[in-house]
Structure formats: C-alpha cells, structure tokens
Amino acid sequence: MDEIHKNILQRNRSNLVKDLDPSKLYDGLLEKGIFTQDMIDEIQSAGTRRNQARQLVQDLETRGSRAFPLFLQCLQETGQESLAELLQNGAPAVTLQPATPTQVVRPVIQPLPFTPGGGKPGPGRVRRDSLQGYKMDASPCGYCLIINNMEFEPHSMLKNRKGSNIDCEKLERRFKTLNFVVEVRTNLRQKQIKHELLTLSKKDHSQYDCCVVIMLSHGTEVNHNRFPGAVYGVDGQYVPVQHITNYLNGQHCPSLQGKPKLFFIQACGGDERDMGFEVSPDEVEPSSGGMDDQTDAIPMSSSSDSLSMSDEPDARPTLPTPSDILVSYSTFPGYVSWRETQSGSWYVQTLDCILEENAATVDLVTMLMMVNNEVSQNSAKGLYKQMPGSFNFLRKLLYFRTQT
C-alpha cells in the first residue's frame, strides 16, 4: 500500500475502530481479492467488533496498492459512506487499474541429447541433464516452525502422543544445525495452528532462502485436490495439509516466491495398517520396532467418513500451482504412522540420522528416498510396516548448508 494511504488509515484509525462494521465487509473483501478466507477467519477470531475492526485496518496496510481504493468501494457498497468520505477527504484521487496477471517467467526446456547406447554426446553437443540448485547461503537460511501436539483434550477422543517430545527436540537441534531460526509451538488447537501459520506467512522472508514447517500430531485422511491428509489440533479439529501449504504459496506469501517451502508431516494419513508383502531375503535388511509402538491415527471408533465435511472446504481452484513446495509424509496416504514411546517416531528418527550423516553432501530429495528405504524395513510388533513418501514440486536441487 502507498505510504499516503497508510497515513490516512493510521490518522483515522480511532474513527474506524469506533464506527466500522467489519461483518458487512467480509464478502466484498474476499470477492475483490483483498483478503483470503484464512485472513478473514483470523480477523473474526479477534473477538469483539472493535477488535475485529482494529485487526482489519492493521492487516489492510499489508495488502498492496489496490487495497485502499477497493476498501473504499466496499465501504460504499455496504452503506458505510460516511467512513468512505472521511478517508477520501484529503486523499489524492485514485484511478483503480484492472488487476494484471502476474508474469510467470518459464524456463526454456531443452531436450536432452539422445545418444544411442547411453554413450557420451558427440562432438559439439552439450549435456543438459544437470539441474540447477536453489540458493541456500543466507545466514540464517530461514524460519523453521515446529508444531508439536502431544496432549489432547479429553473431548477430542485422541490419545496423548508419548515420545513426540523426543521427535521435537531432535528436529529443533537438527534445523538449528542447518542454520534455521527454529520456533516451537506446543499443544495447539486448530485455530491456534492457523494463527501460527498465518503469522509465519506475514513475516518478511526477503532476506532468507527457505522456509520449513514441521507438524507432529495425530492425522487423518480427508478429501483433497492437491495434497492429501490433515493434521489435528489438540481440540480434535483438523487442518487439511493442502490448507497448511496454502499459507506459504506465492499468492499468500510473496516474499517466499521462487524459494523452497518444505513441509514435514509426522502424522497418520488414515487408519489402515500395512502388513506388507513377502520379498526375497536379499531385498530387505531385517529391522523391527518395539512392543510399545503407537500410531498417530484417529481412534478406531471413528473414521474419516464420520468427519464433518462442512469443516473441510476445498482449496479454491484459482490458487496458483504450488511451485517450490515439497511435502514429506511419514506414511503413505490412508495408513497409520508408527511411534515408539521411548525413542520417538520411526520417520523422525530416520530423517534426523539421514540429515546428520548426509546433509553436507547430498540433496534433499535423495535423502528423503534414503529415509523411505530405511523406514520401509522396520516392523511394528513384528507385523506392521510403514512407507513414507513425498509430493515434490521443487524445481531445483536443494542442498542444505550445514554450520561449521
């Protein structure tokens, strides 16, 4: 927003807080693209009308050059002309230009040279089978938010997650070693999870090269059109993974455009238990978990079919493609994820070890394949298996810079 319009809002803040009726504006602000639904939910959670008005005006200043004239339009359309006139008094005339679509610079895709028999390219031909790497040398590299839900409210019917504190401590140490600013939040309800993600999306990431979100909680399977699964708050209400990623996409967090956004989900993708299949002895190295293994699934008395669909709106189809996003799941969608109460989850234990041993020399996607392989060889109670996996929308190789 232009400085002159920010000054007008600040000069008239007391009148806006006193007289503004935010509830009349929400539909228009959403329709005109000034705020997202998540931002409106956050404003509504501020409480009283005055608090909502105060939060709305504060957030409006962050929404770009079109926000002020569109806000005036919303005031006029909802019968709050006196406030519109107050803001227009002394303000330069604004000509609202049509929104122009964001220019997307697409890389020129060149075909790889074809060499019969897999030999080297002939004279004068250049190999194009190497990938560029993301810039990852900022210090610190970026923010890492860890949400660790261990103790669930009784009415949620979800068991406490013993051992999750061990996972959290490992990952906090690991990402500090990888030069991230780590923030840990514990035992959050659904709205608090959304608030933390919204706060993270509002930070200025322009000086950083990457952003990481780690979710440690119970999970479940939900309808989706992009990223499967959902993560529970301690109140038993969930946040779909595709909504979690939306907070940091190019539209909602411009300072992270073109930068890698990494999501690590230690939670069940459903309540199915994988009993595996037989392979030849040389295909697998035997490994088994302890007898106190627990899952991060929803209780067996419930299922994803019984969850209220009204709490699960689909992601809007107008959102941009989630470029530069990687979501790593502890388990295949639909299946449980195993956690040992004394040593933490299989997935986090393995991820931490792989990062410790390889982060200085191996790219992230390759390391996650190593995690997949090792976890797949575990057995819970001598019977059940687990298969991690990723949804990868990264465009380049990602190498962490370890602290020396």
Q: Is-contact 196 215, C-beta < 8 A? A: no
296: nearest Cα among 370, 374, 217: 217
All structural domains of the chain: 3-88 (1.10.533.10), 142-392 (3.40.50.1460)
Catalytic annotation present for 224: no
Residue stretches of the chain with pLDDT short of 70: 90-130, 224-225, 268-322, 332-343, 378-385, 404
Question: What per-residue confidence (pLDDT) applies to 312?
Answer: 26
User: Beta strand pairing status for 142-148 and 210-216?
Assistant: parallel
How far from 79 is each of 56, 211, 231, CA to CA, in Å? 18, 42, 41
Element (H, E) at 142: strand 142-148
Question: What per-residue confidence (pLDDT) applies to 321?
Answer: 47
Question: What per-residue confidence (pLDDT) applies to 4?
Answer: 87
The token pair at 398 is 């990602």
Question: What per-residue confidence (pLDDT) applies to 61?
Answer: 86
Q: CA 322 to CA 247: how far, in whole Å?
A: 11
Question: What per-residue confidence (pLDDT) applies to 251?
Answer: 81
Give the contacts of 118 (CB within 8 A, at least 6 positions apart): none
Q: How many C-beta atoms lie closer than 10 Å to residue 3's C-beta?
A: 7
Q: Is-contact 182 144, C-beta < 8 A? A: yes
Q: Is-contact 194 41, C-beta < 8 A? A: yes
Question: What per-residue confidence (pLDDT) applies to 215?
Answer: 96
Question: What per-residue confidence (pLDDT) applies to 340?
Answer: 65
Catalytic annotation present for 268: yes
Question: What per-residue confidence (pLDDT) applies to 343?
Answer: 65
Q: Is-contact 133 210, C-beta < 8 A? A: no
Catalytic one of 144, 168, 211, 218: 218
Question: What per-residue confidence (pLDDT) applies to 186?
Answer: 97
Sheet holding 293-295, edge to edge: 293-295, 338-340, 344-345
Question: What per-residue confidence (pLDDT) applies to 239?
Answer: 93
Q: CA 362 to CA 178: how far, in whole Å?
A: 13
Distance of CA 234 to the CA centre of its chain: 18
332: nearest Cα among 273, 374, 290: 273
Tell me, yes or no, if the pTM score tops 0.75: no
Catalytic one of 141, 144, 168, 268: 268
Q: CA 119 to CA 115: how far, in whole Å?
A: 6
Q: How many C-beta atoms lie closer than 10 Å to residue 400's C-beta?
A: 22
Distance of CA 396 to the CA centre of its chain: 19
